[in-house]
Amino acid sequence: MSLKITKLSVGPLDVNCYLVCCDDHKVCVLVDPGDASRRILSTVEKMGYKVEKIVNTHAHADHTGGVKNIKEATGALFYLHEDEQEVCRHPLTAEMANYIGVEECPEPDRTMIDGDTIDICPCKSMTVLHTPGHTPGSVCLLIGDTLLTGDTLFHMSVGRTDLHGGDSASLLNSIKTKISVLDENIKVQPGHGEGSTIKFERENNPFLSGSWI
């Protein structure tokens, strides 16, 4: 049974939205649909899949801006970490949504915690790694040999911690204890920018390879 992960860059801040699709069952989980809900849905439809779930790595508006419209169009369930609901409801998050011209973050249908598995289809799932720091409820999602890191880890960088709920010590601890310990061959697909691997980031990212940790 094969999975296909397709990346779309959406919104004014070029968020990476991931379409995690199961070929055999023709179902799809969307990760971080930050904007462009019509384009996302059109892409899924052309590929021949049905959206069943939306999973967000965190609740910042540039990552959740398309959730409301996609939920309404598909009936998909929206997943968010239990520690992220305060960020979802916070006035500053609503202000960000208004500023970049996207819908506000809706209430989640399901909350998740560290170690949860979320079914993609009957025989494939993603594992939730709670990685607080960028926000209190930030998560990374491990899908086979691919890690979707949201705004926790980027190619040669890490997520900012100067927004509401951010904490630099927590971020670096999350990377040290949850990400850098993973197999070096795992592919890293972040919330913005280009992809990488655990091996490359261990050896070259100053936040993993230098004195930051």
CB atoms within 10 A of CB 19: 20
* Predicted local confidence at residue 211, as pLDDT: 41
| Nearby residues of 95 by Cβ (< 8 Å), 6 or more positions away | none
CB atoms within 10 A of CB 61: 26
Buried b (16+ CB within 10 A) or exposed e, 135-166: bbbbbbbbbeebbbbbbbbbbeebbebeeebb
Structurally, the chain folds into a number of domains equal to 1
Convert the pLDDT of each residue in 71-95 to its tens digit: 999 999 999 999 999 999 999 999 9
CATH number of residue 65's parent domain:
3.60.15.10
* Predicted local confidence at residue 213, as pLDDT: 41
Report the C-alpha gap between 213 and 11 in whole angstroms: 33
Is 126 within 8 Å of 118 (Cβ atoms)? Answer: yes
How far is it between the farthest Cα atoms of the chain?
48
Q: How far is CA 193 from CA 9, 69, 86, 88, 183, in A?
A: 9, 25, 27, 24, 22
* Predicted local confidence at residue 209, as pLDDT: 67
Tens digit of pLDDT per residue, the chain (213 long)?
A: 589 999 999 999 999 999 999 999 999 999 999 999 999 999 999 999 999 999 999 999 999 999 999 999 999 999 999 999 999 999 999 999 999 999 999 999 999 999 999 999 998 999 999 999 999 999 999 999 999 999 999 999 999 999 889 999 999 999 999 999 999 999 999 999 999 999 999 999 998 865 444
* Residues of the domain holding 135: 3-209
